[in-house]
A and B are shown apart, each in its own frame.
Chain A
Amino acid sequence: MSEGLSRRSFIKLAATAGAAAALPGCEPAARKIIPYVVPDENVIPGVPTFYATTCNECRAGCGIVAKVREGRVIKLEGNPADPISQGSICARGQAALQGLYNPDRLATPMTRRADGSLQEISWEEAIHQFNARLQSAAQSGKNRIAFIGSSQGPALDNITRLWLQTWGSERLVFWERIGEEAARAAAQACFGRRDLPIYRFDLAEAIVSFGADFLETWGSPVEYARQYAEFRRPKLRNGTLSIGKCAYISPRLGTTGARADRWVQAYPGTEGLVAMGVLNAIVNQGWFARDTEIDLGALKEFVSGYDPHSVSEAAGIPVEVVTSLASWLGQSNSALAVAGGDDLQTYIAAYLLNAVTGNLGRTLVFLEDSPPEALTPPQDAAEVVQSIHDGQVDVAIVAGGANPAYSMPAAWNVAAALKRVPFLIWMGEVPDDSAQAAHLLIPTHHPLETWRDSHPRAGVHQVGQPVMQPVFDSRPLHDILIQSAHLAGGTAGQQIPWENSADAVNAAWQQLQSKLAPDTNPTEFWSQALRTGGAYQEAQARKVTLDQAILRRKLQFRSAAPENLMLAAFPHIFLYDGRGADKPWLQEIPEPVTQIVWDTWIEMHPETARQIGLKQNYDTRYLYAGINVVEVSTPNGSFEAAVHITPLVRPGVLAVPIGQGHSAYGRYAKDRGVNLWAFLPEASRSVPVQVRLTEKRYMLTTPLGNSDMMGRSVIEAMSLEELTAGKQPEVEREAQEEMPSGPYEMYDPIRYPGYKWGMTIDVNACTGCSACVAACYAENNLAIVGKERVQEGHIMSWLRIERFIPSPEEAHKAPNLYLAPILCQHCDHAPCEPVCPVFASVHTREGLNAQIYNRCIGTRFCENNCPYKVRRFNWFAPEWPEPMHLQLNPDVTVRGAGVMEKCTFCIQRITAAEIDARTEGRELKDGEVITACAQACPTRAITFGNLNDHNSAMVKRRVENKPRAYTMLPQLNALPQITYLRSIYHTTENL
């Protein structure tokens, strides 16, 4: 030992010094507790508060409930009291939260300097500029101001209208690209009123959809999905078991086609023609309803020239399809034909089909007191844009997320118009494509921060209340407009007696009260509306008769098959018309049919791919989505995108999703993919194109392994005959995988004395809409990883919609597409548990397969051993750019890097409910605990409950549907606690 310092004291010193060095760096950050000064009586910190409001993500008008914890909204759910949503909302609706907390929202008012850069200004300055510009424009004459916004409900739209009048202008546009014009114009032509009907898919026995993707984006998808599940539920009719028959006419399958019996691959743009062919067959076969007052002679004359043969030739479909669809519609007790897209004639043909088959007033219902039209018809919008082009406008205002530069038809050249206008004001949340040229940018409240009302249909009046304090330094758009109108004065200004938009909404409800419920107390009416989300009344059906003049109208359809390849653009189920692109959940949840994320792709049939010289063969076992880039030339210019080869699109057609290709609109949307609206004509979503294969490579990304079940039966289906006979379908399993004769236990079986949680999933009701996936992301703090990491095989979804494509050999006895939600099966013999070296993966006494994050050391053995591939590993520490972290659920741990995670059956909800029950000294009631996915499901395909309670809805459902029940991969003897109910299909012979 050296002199002076003994070995022992040296070690002591070293360790102490080490400790001393480490301590200051590791001291916890000062944590503060700041109590309320005056507490809100109704708020208990730690207990969520729920506010009813309305969804503003599309025109359907779903009522929603916002779950608020400690003053910030953490989740959106459907409002059970609302007749449209009935307790569920779609993935898009739930992702509205990410619009609210979007890190790229404009934080302060900005003005553009001469050099094009943006400069922050104060609110006083911004409001002053806003009004000064309006003032000088109004002084130089009438109609010098144009406003292009989106409809925000009757009360707020009224403010906008009055405000613009005050400034002496009529140039007002409420814009929506996926609009209502065709449906309204057709209703005008057929029935003499520009009303929108409501549809009753649940009352039909046969549905024929002429291009309406009613399970994806068309109309009111949540409501229609719910109705459709009822339509497909096996029911006894005249003593035989039956389910509804559905045909979907579209060049692309989509989830609507996936759930239909018949996918009719007509050329894009020929849907109306097919409808006329069907009408012709119905008339000539005499299948029309006898009690309608339609002039038969005129009808015969009207449909002549649309004989099934020529129609099927022009549409490129077999002739027997047309006649069989005619028999579906004409010979069912009740049927429904719906039209989609922007083509007026398709709508006319579909309305006629319903009228002729006597389904008007049954499955297609017009209501008394339908709300006035809110959207501006495209031709009027075009006029306003033209006036900007012509230099008749001094100040243009783009507001409310309308984004005309992105979504208005290419022929209008809106981007140039907006550049041309002397002063462009943009008001909104995330600066989008239309903000690029703006001179003044004003941040406005998100709809969830604003007072609104909504009147989506007769009998449904909703009130939208702000669910939290503003996240950013923004102001309500309509408050700015009201103040501006007061400043302008004049007679019109006096018509706005309200101080702010909250007053205006309140005043509108007072009026409504005097109309709907004159006997009630106004205060009570108002608070009742706030509590339940609105005022709901049974709407009266209006008797409509067909205007016989329509039968003398000459419809124009393309009469021959297209010579070129056709591009068929379709709205992306999540990105919709493009407004979803700034929300990372919607980007990262795979599009259900292709399973592609974060991109624009071109769906191409293997045959077409061969034609254009692509050497890559189609194989369902592909491990990637697509890589070859093609150049597509349209009459409006050309674009490049990578090809996804798939049999789920018609040969000769390129199906491309709409929604990407923003030049701005936040970090998640910017410079990603292609904006299809820029290439489409005004009232059509298809266009002839030329395609050239390039040498370029671009990897499309999918988290999916492949599209083939590889001989294993993961998602099962059975035919209606098998169900009627009550026999299990014969499922081919791999020869070497022997089925155990029953549950096999080596040890004494484990007892679960209290609750035992389980799930029943009705695959027959699943539409693949992915609302459950979005709900899981929101509830459980799932991280977004981005395209690059998904490419590397990393995605955090605990719950996914798995899809498999049936092979051509089995296509006649299989659904069009296998679709089902797959999540942790909470196996009794969980293969993940014995391999965990640290007991992080353990079984609870309530039958849950638990993952204890703080114990996990990240060996990933469990993930390897999981046959269902539902475990997710945090390869990186998750990031939530501020203020997105405000959305995190405080009841769920945020997992760090190196930790495995998976579905917990929403243990935080189970625990909370159990604590409530225990403190009240009772047992949990059935339905008291509901997982986020089950709550979100529009079709109620998912039921959650206690397996030990034989009266629970979940157990009953699997017992009552015994012939359809199966567990996934039973040969593994993992004993999953999730029972699936097979989806039912019609065999081709029996359609």
Chain B
Amino acid sequence: MNRVIIPIALLLFAGGVVTVAFSQRPWAPRSDVEQPIPFSHRVHAGINKIPCQYCHEYARRSSMSGVPPVERCVGCHGSALLGGIQPITRPWTDHRQPPFEIRWNRVYALPDFVKFVHKPHIWAGVACQECHGPVETMDRVVPVYEINMGFCIDCHVKRGATQECFVCHH
């Protein structure tokens, strides 16, 4: 009996490997991404009602929405001495320190063959939440939707937007 089962088992195992290897989507949004600092979108966008594009300022002008420069953080947090907001991380207020970079971990990523552009979506009045979910309620951003082609096309059909392959895949 084993002579039958073992080859089949191996075959299945290999099949499993192949299926998973080809079906996994390395660019799918990751729900397990931890960030280097405990930044909370709930506090900023939810409680304090800071508009998304105050920080992600390139969204209406470019393909990428942009992650705010450290200067933008310091703009509010650095003015603590003038009665501003208490900074939660001390070094930002210390101007004698060399400027440092924050290495955020990417939550949303698209493969190279998808040329998504934020700009027309913002101008068409698509709310950020329609793709990114209720970020203003999240402390740590986790994806709500899996952003695959079906997700894009559904919305494009609903809104009567282009369904041309070439617009995104070029």
Residues on A lying within 8 angstroms of B by beta carbon are: 1-2, 10-11, 14-19, 21-23, 25-28, 30-39, 44-47, 842, 844-846, 848, 850, 852-855, 891-894, 904, 907-908, 911, 915, 918-919
Q: Report yes or no: A28 in contact with B20, Cβ–Cβ below 8 A.
A: no
Q: Report yes or no: A845 in contact with B164, Cβ–Cβ below 8 A.
A: yes
Q: Report yes or no: B67 in contact with A33, Cβ–Cβ below 8 A.
A: yes
Which residues of the other chain, B, contact A11 by a CB distance below 8 angstroms? 12
Q: Is B84 an interface residue (CB 8 A)?
A: no
Q: Report yes or no: B66 in contact with A852, Cβ–Cβ below 8 A.
A: no
Knowing A34-B102, A37-B69 touch, does A18 contact B9 (C-beta < 8 A)? no
Which residues of the other chain, A, contact B20 by a CB distance below 8 angstroms? 18-19, 22-23, 26
Distance of A233 Cα from B91 Cα, bound (Å): 68
Taking the nearest CB of chain A, how far is it from the CB of B49, in angstroms?
22
Q: Report yes or no: B26 in contact with A26, Cβ–Cβ below 8 A.
A: yes
Which residues of the other chain, B, contact A853 by a CB distance below 8 angstroms? 113, 169
Segment among B55-63, B132-140, B152-160 that sits at the interface with chain A: B55-63
Q: Is B85 an interface residue (CB 8 A)?
A: no
Q: Report yes or no: B62 in contact with A36, Cβ–Cβ below 8 A.
A: no
Q: Report yes or no: B169 in contact with A854, Cβ–Cβ below 8 A.
A: yes
Which residues of the other chain, B, contact A46 by a CB distance below 8 angstroms? 58, 62-64, 66, 117
Q: Report yes or no: A919 in contact with B106, Cβ–Cβ below 8 A.
A: no
Q: Report yes or no: A904 in contact with B165, Cβ–Cβ below 8 A.
A: no
Q: Report yes or no: B165 in contact with A852, Cβ–Cβ below 8 A.
A: yes
Contact of B115 among A2, A855, A891 (CB under 8 A): A891
Known: A1-B1, A37-B101, A908-B170. 11 other contacts (CB 8 A): A28-B109, A31-B105, A31-B109, A33-B106, A35-B66, A35-B68, A35-B70, A845-B164, A850-B164, A853-B169, A891-B115
Distance of A846 Cα from B166 Cα, bound (Å): 10
Knowing A18-B14, A855-B165 touch, does A37 contact B100 (C-beta < 8 A)? yes
Which residues of the other chain, A, contact B119 by a CB distance below 8 angstroms? 915, 919
Q: Report yes or no: A848 in contact with B166, Cβ–Cβ below 8 A.
A: yes
Per-position binary interface string of chain B over residues 1-15, scored 1 when its CB falls under 8 Å from any chain A CB and 0 otherwise: 110010001001111
Which residues of the other chain, A, contact B111 by a CB distance below 8 angstroms? 854
Q: Report yes or no: B99 in contact with A915, Cβ–Cβ below 8 A.
A: no
Which residues of the other chain, B, contact A19 by a CB distance below 8 angstroms? 16-17, 19-20
Contact of A34 among B24, B101, B120 (CB under 8 A): B101
Question: Which among B26, B119, B166 has the highest number of chain A CB atoms within 10 Å?
Answer: B166
Q: Report yes or no: A18 in contact with B19, Cβ–Cβ below 8 A.
A: yes
Residues on B lying within 8 angstroms of A by beta carbon are: 1-2, 5, 9, 12-17, 19-21, 24, 26-27, 30, 58, 61-64, 66-71, 99-106, 109, 111-115, 117, 119-120, 123, 164-167, 169-170
Contact of B123 among A26, A33, A36, A919 (CB under 8 A): A919
Distance of A923 Cα from B145 Cα, bound (Å): 34
Q: Report yes or no: A36 in contact with B70, Cβ–Cβ below 8 A.
A: yes
Which residues of the other chain, B, contact A34 by a CB distance below 8 angstroms? 101-104
Q: Report yes or no: B104 in contact with A32, Cβ–Cβ below 8 A.
A: yes
Taking the nearest CB of chain A, how far is it from the CB of B144, in angstroms?
19
Which residues of the other chain, B, contact A2 by a CB distance below 8 angstroms? 1-2, 5
Distance of A848 Cα from B166 Cα, bound (Å): 9
Q: What would be 7 A-B contacts, judged by CB atoms less than 8 Å apart?
A: A23-B24, A28-B26, A35-B66, A36-B69, A38-B99, A850-B170, A911-B117
By beta carbon, the residue of chain B nearest A30 is B105
Q: Report yes or no: A893 in contact with B113, Cβ–Cβ below 8 A.
A: yes
Distance of A669 Cα from B119 Cα, bound (Å): 44
Distance of A918 Cα from B115 Cα, bound (Å): 17
Question: Which among A845, A908, A915 has the highest number of chain B CB atoms within 10 Å?
Answer: A915
Distance of A270 Cα from B117 Cα, bound (Å): 61
Distance of A15 Cα from B104 Cα, bound (Å): 35
Knowing A10-B5, A28-B109 touch, does A844 contact B123 (C-beta < 8 A)? no
Which residues of the other chain, A, contact B14 by a CB distance below 8 angstroms? 18
Distance of A28 Cα from B166 Cα, bound (Å): 26
Contact of A14 among B13, B27, B67, B123 (CB under 8 A): B13
Distance of A590 Cα from B110 Cα, bound (Å): 36
Distance of A82 Cα from B109 Cα, bound (Å): 41
Distance of A45 Cα from B59 Cα, bound (Å): 10
Which residues of the other chain, A, contact B67 by a CB distance below 8 angstroms? 33, 35
By beta carbon, the residue of chain A nearest B164 is A844
Q: Report yes or no: A854 in contact with B113, Cβ–Cβ below 8 A.
A: yes
Q: Report yes or no: B166 in contact with A907, Cβ–Cβ below 8 A.
A: yes
Distance of A44 Cα from B120 Cα, bound (Å): 16
Q: Report yes or no: A16 in contact with B170, Cβ–Cβ below 8 A.
A: no
By beta carbon, the residue of chain B nearest A899 is B113
By beta carbon, the residue of chain A nearest B111 is A854
Which residues of the other chain, A, contact B64 by a CB distance below 8 angstroms? 45-46
Which residues of the other chain, B, contact A893 by a CB distance below 8 angstroms? 112-113, 115, 169-170
Which residues of the other chain, A, contact B166 by a CB distance below 8 angstroms? 842, 844, 848, 850, 852, 904, 907
Knowing A14-B16, A33-B106 touch, does A915 contact B26 (C-beta < 8 A)? no
The 3 closest A-B pairs by CB, nearest first: A18-B16, A46-B62, A28-B26
Which residues of the other chain, A, contact B104 by a CB distance below 8 angstroms? 32-35
Q: Report yes or no: A918 in contact with B120, Cβ–Cβ below 8 A.
A: yes
By beta carbon, the residue of chain B nearest A1 is B1
Distance of A620 Cα from B161 Cα, bound (Å): 52
Distance of A398 Cα from B106 Cα, bound (Å): 48
Which residues of the other chain, A, contact B19 by a CB distance below 8 angstroms? 15, 18-19
Distance of A887 Cα from B55 Cα, bound (Å): 29
Q: Report yes or no: B115 in contact with A17, Cβ–Cβ below 8 A.
A: no
Taking the nearest CB of chain B, how far is it from the CB of A921, in angstroms?
9
Distance of A22 Cα from B25 Cα, bound (Å): 12
Distance of A97 Cα from B38 Cα, bound (Å): 42
Distance of A158 Cα from B92 Cα, bound (Å): 46
Which residues of the other chain, A, contact B164 by a CB distance below 8 angstroms? 844-846, 850
By beta carbon, the residue of chain B nearest A10 is B9
Distance of A850 Cα from B115 Cα, bound (Å): 15
Distance of A15 Cα from B70 Cα, bound (Å): 46
Question: Which among A842, A855, A911 has the highest number of chain B CB atoms within 10 Å?
Answer: A911
Distance of A23 Cα from B64 Cα, bound (Å): 29
Which residues of the other chain, B, contact A911 by a CB distance below 8 angstroms? 115, 117, 167, 170
By beta carbon, the residue of chain A nearest B70 is A37
Which residues of the other chain, A, contact B9 by a CB distance below 8 angstroms? 10, 14
Distance of A14 Cα from B58 Cα, bound (Å): 47
Which residues of the other chain, A, contact B113 by a CB distance below 8 angstroms? 853-854, 893
Taking the nearest CB of chain A, how far is it from the CB of B147, in angstroms?
14
Which residues of the other chain, B, contact A36 by a CB distance below 8 angstroms? 69-71
Distance of A907 Cα from B17 Cα, bound (Å): 37
Taking the nearest CB of chain A, how far is it from the CB of B47, in angstroms?
23
Which residues of the other chain, B, contact A855 by a CB distance below 8 angstroms? 165, 169
By beta carbon, the residue of chain A nearest B104 is A33
Distance of A47 Cα from B64 Cα, bound (Å): 9
Q: Report yes or no: B12 in contact with A18, Cβ–Cβ below 8 A.
A: yes
Which residues of the other chain, B, contact A25 by a CB distance below 8 angstroms? 21
Knowing A35-B68, A46-B64 touch, does A22 contact B21 (C-beta < 8 A)? yes
Q: Report yes or no: A918 in contact with B123, Cβ–Cβ below 8 A.
A: yes
Distance of A37 Cα from B91 Cα, bound (Å): 13
Q: Report yes or no: A18 in contact with B71, Cβ–Cβ below 8 A.
A: no
Distance of A908 Cα from B113 Cα, bound (Å): 12
Q: Report yes or no: A919 in contact with B120, Cβ–Cβ below 8 A.
A: yes
Distance of A852 Cα from B119 Cα, bound (Å): 23
Taking the nearest CB of chain B, how far is it from the CB of A476, in angstroms?
25
Which residues of the other chain, B, contact A915 by a CB distance below 8 angstroms? 117, 119-120
Q: Report yes or no: B17 in contact with A21, Cβ–Cβ below 8 A.
A: yes
By beta carbon, the residue of chain B nearest A894 is B112
Which residues of the other chain, B, contact A848 by a CB distance below 8 angstroms? 166
Taking the nearest CB of chain B, how far is it from the CB of A6, in angstroms?
11
Which residues of the other chain, A, contact B102 by a CB distance below 8 angstroms? 34-35
Q: Report yes or no: A26 in contact with B165, Cβ–Cβ below 8 A.
A: no
Taking the nearest CB of chain B, how far is it from the CB of A954, in angstroms?
20
Taking the nearest CB of chain A, how far is it from the CB of B41, in angstroms?
15
Q: Report yes or no: B112 in contact with A35, Cβ–Cβ below 8 A.
A: no
Q: Report yes or no: B12 in contact with A14, Cβ–Cβ below 8 A.
A: yes
Q: Report yes or no: B16 in contact with A38, Cβ–Cβ below 8 A.
A: no
Knowing A28-B26, A35-B102, A35-B104 touch, does A907 contact B170 (C-beta < 8 A)? yes
Question: Which among A14, A23, A845 has the highest number of chain B CB atoms within 10 Å?
Answer: A14
